[in-house]
A = this chain, B = another copy of it.
Amino acid sequence: MSTAAQKQQQRPTLSSQGLAPTHAVSATDQYGEQREVRVSGESPLTLKVDDREVVTLMTLGTHPELLALGYLRNQRLIENISDIKSVNVDWDKESVQVTTTHGQGISDWQEKLSKRTVTTGCGQGTVFSCTLDKLYGQKLPQVKVKQSLLYDLLKAINQYNEIYKQAGAVHGCALCAGTEILNFVEDVGRHNAADAISGKMWLEDIAGEDKIFYTTGRLTSEIVMKVTHMGIPIVLSRSGVTHMGLELARDLGVTLIARAKGKAFLVYNGSENIIYDCKPEKPKR
């Protein structure tokens, strides 16, 4: 058997149970008139590993299998994807069952469970404290990025945000290679969207070092941690940053670009990595 085939064999099998993202409902507007509008879905999904409950996530539900994988990866609950045999979603039971090859569940589960932190995250917001220690062992490459590429990427991303445009109440995250959007995921929680992208990278063995991570959401500590864990050195956000998100980015070497809208952006960390090849003209006073 070839190495590629072996590698293929080590990937888990996934169900394909994504939900429709939006629902039609009627609402009454400021004129007192009824209108049909769309709202985004929100469903509980209980993640089980070898029949043991890990957590219940509230999710849009479009990528439940990738979300489960990414959650386990980003929380460092399972280290190797080759330990996962299958990921099966059953919406009747509102659950996703992850089955390991060894059938032993998550190692050191009780210890990990005891140190859960609830974070600022939309849609997620629980982090197992074991994750942070391990992050500091990780070295992100220092990658340069052109201002012109950032502008082209922001333009490309404008074509996405489908669900947000229809129904609002979601955040979007994108995995980008240059100006190409490899993956765009929206969820009621931005952390879920980030995790689903991480799940896809894990499943398809996609490296992070030459990618850019885009999010419509804020850059809090947990998002910076997740992105570092995904090995992505550059983060771009339409929203702002928190002080702890910034401090982590400094410590971990993440280039942090936020408040990116139109031609404006602010580089909070790693400005030496930006190649200013198309500075806009300053507005006249």
Contact = CB atoms under 8 A, between A and B. Distances in A.
A58 B280 contact: no
A246 B31 contact: no
Interface residues of A, number: 65
Contacts of A27: 266-268, 271
A59 B274 CA distance: 31
In the assembly, how many copies of this chain are there? 2
A101 interface: no
B188 A220 contact: yes
A121 B116 contact: no
A103 B182 CA distance: 55
Interface in A123-147: 123-126, 147
Contacts of A271: 27-28, 32, 34
Given A25-B246, A39-B243, A126 B123 contact: no
Interface in A248-285: 259, 263-268, 271, 274, 276, 279-280, 282
Given A121-B125, A123-B125, A116 B220 contact: no
A44 B44 CA distance: 26
Interface in A36-58: 37, 39-44, 55-58
A244 interface: yes
Interface of A: 23, 25, 27-32, 34-35, 37, 39-44, 55-59, 116-126, 147, 167-169, 188-189, 218-222, 239-246, 259, 263-268, 271, 274, 276, 279-280, 282
